[in-house]
Amino acid sequence: MAALERDLAKFESRNTQVVGISTDFPMAQKPWADKMGLEFPLVSDWQRKVLPSYGLLDTDPNSVIYRYAKRSYLIIDKDGIVRWKKILDDPRQALSDDELLAALDKINGQ
Amino acid sequence: MRRIATLAVLVTVAAGMLFGATLPAAALEVGDKVPDFTLPATTQETVSMHDFLGKKNVLLFGFVGAFTPT
């Protein structure tokens, strides 16, 4: 997440808004976002209404992150269409910004 | 009789596919339109998906929780 903040200008130059989503309460997200100095928004789906409809909530009772958001990335275009998606099995892993930026370049036709 | 039994199986399978597809766990796939949302946000009161429609791409990333390793 710190990496996304560091590369935020690269996402912005590709006309892309970065948004993070988790099941944290707003009162937990805010101090963390402040501590990390995040300029992009984190949104709180503490009622777990949105993540299931996006397929991003872990619904496996045997998972260590059961009922939490999966480590996941969706690129949604201006028309609200999913153009690229990756969900990682291991929530401790993260994608590199380079992979995300390359996917954006492909979508933007560059 | 056999024909009726076959038909019953087909109807059951079709119903399963039909209703199975509408379960809330169905993930969004590439090419799907995303549902709108409005949620509390860290940068302003709320953020909605429709804020960006017609204007920007959105990179939406899910993470397990605040104060967990990135």
Domain assignment present for residue B38? The answer is: yes
The domains of chain A, with CATH numbers, are: 2-104 (3.40.30.10)
- For residue A98, the chain B residues in CB contact (below 8 A) are none
The residue length of chain A stands at: 110
Residue B4 pLDDT class (50, 70, 90 cuts)? low
Tokens representing B8?
């019953």
Domain that holds residue B6: 2-51
Mean pLDDT of A21-36: 96
Q: Is the dihedral of CA B70, A62, B36, B22 positive or negative?
A: positive
Q: Which residue has the higher pLDDT, B6 or B67?
A: B67
Domain assignment present for residue B7? The answer is: yes
pTM of structure:
0.85
Residue B12 CA neighbour count, 13 Å, CB half = 6
Per-residue pLDDT tens digits for A35-84: 999 999 999 999 999 999 999 999 999 999 999 999 999 999 999 999 99
Domain assignment present for residue B6? The answer is: yes
CA dihedral A57, A63, A91, A43 (to 10 degrees): 30
Domain assignment present for residue B58? The answer is: no
- For residue A92, the chain B residues in CB contact (below 8 A) are 69
Residue B34 pLDDT class (50, 70, 90 cuts)? very high
pLDDT at residue B9 greater than cutoff 70? no
Task: Determine contact, residues A56/A70, Cβ cutoff 8 Å.
Answer: yes
**How would you label B3-12 residue by residue, b for 16+ Cβ within 10 Å and e otherwise?**
eeeeeeeeee
ipTM: 0.96
The total domain count for chain B is 1
Distance CA A104, CA A83 (A): 9
Tokens representing A49?
């209404």
Q: Work out the minimum CA distance from A104 to partner chain B, whole angstroms.
A: 9
Domain assignment present for residue B57? The answer is: no
